[in-house]
Amino acid sequence: MESRQRFECEVDSAVRAALKKIGSPDLKFIKEVSDMADLAVPCFSFSKELRSDPKAIAERLAANIAPSGLISSVSALNGYLNFMMDDTALIGETLKRIIAEGDAYGSMPENGIKINVEHTSTNPTGPIHVGRARNPIIGDTLARSLKRCGYDVQTEYYVNDVGKQVVILTWGVNNVPKGSVTEEDRDKTDHRLVAYYREANKRMEEDSEVKEHIAEMLRRFEDGDEEVIRSVRKTAEAMLEGLKETLADINVELDNYTWESDFIMDGSAKDVVDRLKGSKYAGQTEDGAWYVDLKDFGVQGKNTKFTFTRSDGTTLYTTRDLAYHLDKFKRADRAVDVLGEDQKLGSKQLCSALEILGSKKVPEAMFYSFVSLPEGKMSTRKGVVVYLDDLIDEAVSRAVNEIRSRRSDLSEEEMLNIARKIGIGAIRYNIVRVHPEKQFVFKWDEALNFDGNSGPYIQYVHARACSMLSKAGKYDCCTDPGMFTDEYERALIKSLSKFGRVIKEAGEERRVHVLPAYGHEVAVAFNQFYAMVPVLASDENRNSRLTLVECTRTVLRNVLDCLGIDCPEEM
């Protein structure tokens, strides 16, 4: 058992013994962590039973507990019984583990559970804009956290290559002459192709012949015309290449790409239709469209009907999504979908329909609110949009300027290489640091913040630690708790000891925003230690302090890795 847990047990029995001594052995109490003590027991609830003031009770209890074991002190304050922990054991234990486990520190052993994390899945009709950028960043961070929690994680992008939008795009790419649109000034397929998508939309509105042509393509698509389906898929694939480049730039790589059209081609969407038709919740409108009524499943609103075929019998997006999730559960024990908040109802309907289909498993959804601009909602069509690629460029160029102003010794190539890591670090940190369900207004100066609560702040601490260690050269590792007597050393080690709990919260509870906060906490603790405690200049404490620097570097690397942020050794 780790010392923290042992401490809690000791406090538990000490309080019980004290309550017994004052004659009320059956009183229930709670323990809480606070700023004032390592563990505190509020005494207010004892007041009624003991007919006494909580302050007096706390003092009486404190008088009946003597420090022993891991309890280094007991005191009463404001009606609380406060316990301080002797952290000697914690210090030794933490440092030894970090040294022994290295990159794996904070990770749990493999648990054999296969978990599928679906994220991003943006429509392949244009470049990723920052309104959608939360999805890959949250999804990738979650996947990395779950890996450290011991899961066998597969990440997956569901490519929507079915429906009107991609058909319009395909029509544009195949029919709009190359010279007649101005392609965006960026050599990437997504930026090149989006011009044809815009032009196709425009022509469709202005020209009824074009509109009819696109409608015809859509009809053929839905009839299962392989030529059309293949052609659409080809365009979607080309577009996806560009999206993948952007994702790779922010350190996001997905394991699988699953195509929506596959569920039409292989007949599994049809199977879903047949099985739903047989359920007792199924019904048909006058026009012949099929639905299941979900009012018994807690779905609310004026319409509880969940339609799964058109009147002509063809399948809908949601029908294919059902087939897709049934397929997912053949491949994984659990599934997490990272979705925009507009999918909340759809996700609930999906789960209900899966239950009707007899699926024992249902995906766990994680929602995020959209990112908007100060001037309002983003819209590719209106040109009110900031592309993720532009944000990346801006972040990198600002980082280059920062580096140039303080490092004249580096080559242009070295500067650019480091700047990419800093710029991406700033972007990913800034986006993942806020609670996903909170509305997010994109502001350039916040996204490009390199100070204080930022990715580069943590990267800077890491670089500092690297610099110290390389200056130090060889040293003897020392984890003897007796050597760490300074308050800044102890505070830093305490922070390092929390990493395992943070990973668990980020993964198991899907609270990924605790990771940047934790990284920042460790970085602050290090900077304070750094400012107050000499390391290289110290004689008797040199080895122990270098060990602490090394351990901090390891933990920072692990946190940053979990956040998908690179850690350059210099910057």
Partner RNA sequence: GGGCCUGUGGUGUAGCCUGGAUAUCACCGGGGCCUCCGGAGCCUCAGACCCGAGUUCGAAUCUCGGCAGGCCCGCCA
- For residue 292, give the 3-state DSSP assignment: strand
Residue 473 interacts with RNA (CB under 7 A): yes or no? no
Residue 452 interacts with RNA (CB under 7 A): yes or no? yes
Cβ count near 300 (within 10 Å): 10
- For residue 379, give the 3-state DSSP assignment: strand
Residue 485 interacts with RNA (CB under 7 A): yes or no? no
Contacting residue, 73, 397, 527, 543, with RNA by CB under 7 A: 527
Only one of the segments 71-79, 84-92, 103-111, 383-391 lies at the binding site for RNA (rule: CB under 7 A); that segment is 71-79
Between 98 and 535, CB nearer to RNA: 535
Residue 451 interacts with RNA (CB under 7 A): yes or no? yes
CB of 80 to RNA, least distance (A): 3
CB of 177 to RNA, least distance (A): 27
Residue 537 interacts with RNA (CB under 7 A): yes or no? yes
State the number of binding residues for RNA (CB under 7 A). 102
Contacting residue, 464, 504, 510, 553, with RNA by CB under 7 A: 464
The identity of residue 105, as a single letter, is Y
Contact in structure between 546 and 475 (CB atoms under 8 Å): yes
Contacting residue, 184, 241, 293, 570, with RNA by CB under 7 A: 570
Q: Which two tokens stand for residue 511?
A: 């609270």
Residue 532 interacts with RNA (CB under 7 A): yes or no? yes
Which of 18, 8, 12 minimizes the C-alpha distance to 61? 18
Between 166 and 181, CB nearer to RNA: 166
Residue 457 interacts with RNA (CB under 7 A): yes or no? yes
Query: What is the rounded CA–CA span in Å between residue 122 and residue 130?
Result: 12
Query: What is the rounded CA–CA span in Å between residue 522 and residue 349?
Result: 42
Contacting residue, 11, 14, 18, 37, with RNA by CB under 7 A: 37
b/e map 225-243, b = 16+ CB within 10 Å: eeebbebbbebbebbbebb
Which of 415, 393, 398, 397 minimizes the C-alpha distance to 570? 415
Between 165 and 359, CB nearer to RNA: 165
Residue 453 interacts with RNA (CB under 7 A): yes or no? yes
CB of 98 to RNA, least distance (A): 20
Contacting residue, 80, 158, 263, 324, with RNA by CB under 7 A: 80
Q: Which residues, including other chains, have CB under 8 Å from residue 5's CB and lie 6 or more apart?
A: none
Residue 384 interacts with RNA (CB under 7 A): yes or no? no
- For residue 158, give the 3-state DSSP assignment: strand
Residue 518 interacts with RNA (CB under 7 A): yes or no? no
Between 20 and 344, CB nearer to RNA: 344
Residues in region 110-139 near RNA by CB under 7 A: 123
Residue 318 interacts with RNA (CB under 7 A): yes or no? yes
Q: Which residues, including other chains, have CB under 8 Å from residue 224's CB and lie 6 or more apart?
A: 264, 265
Provide the 8-state DSSP code for 110.
Answer: P
- For residue 438, give the 3-state DSSP assignment: coil
The dihedral sign for the CA sequence 312, 317, 318, 319? positive
Only one of the segments 6-14, 250-258, 380-388, 428-436 lies at the binding site for RNA (rule: CB under 7 A); that segment is 428-436
3-class secondary structure per residue, 303-370:
CCEEECECCCCCECHHHHHHHHHHHHHHHCCEEEEEEEHHHHHHHHHHHHHHHHCCCCCCCEEEEECC
Judging by DSSP bridges, how do beta strands 71-77 and 80-85 pair with one another?
Answer: antiparallel
Contacting residue, 209, 287, 375, 409, with RNA by CB under 7 A: 287
Residue 63 interacts with RNA (CB under 7 A): yes or no? no
Query: What is the rounded CA–CA span in Å between residue 439 and residue 458?
Result: 25
Residue 543 interacts with RNA (CB under 7 A): yes or no? no
Encoded one letter per residue, x for contact with RNA by CB under 7 A and - for no contact, window 361-380 reads --------xx-x----x---
Only one of the segments 10-18, 225-233, 479-487, 526-534 lies at the binding site for RNA (rule: CB under 7 A); that segment is 526-534
Query: What is the rounded CA–CA span in Å between residue 296 and residue 304?
Result: 9
Residues in region 201-220 near RNA by CB under 7 A: none
Residue 235 interacts with RNA (CB under 7 A): yes or no? no
Contacting residue, 88, 165, 174, 258, with RNA by CB under 7 A: 165
Only one of the segments 64-72, 136-144, 159-167, 168-176 lies at the binding site for RNA (rule: CB under 7 A); that segment is 159-167
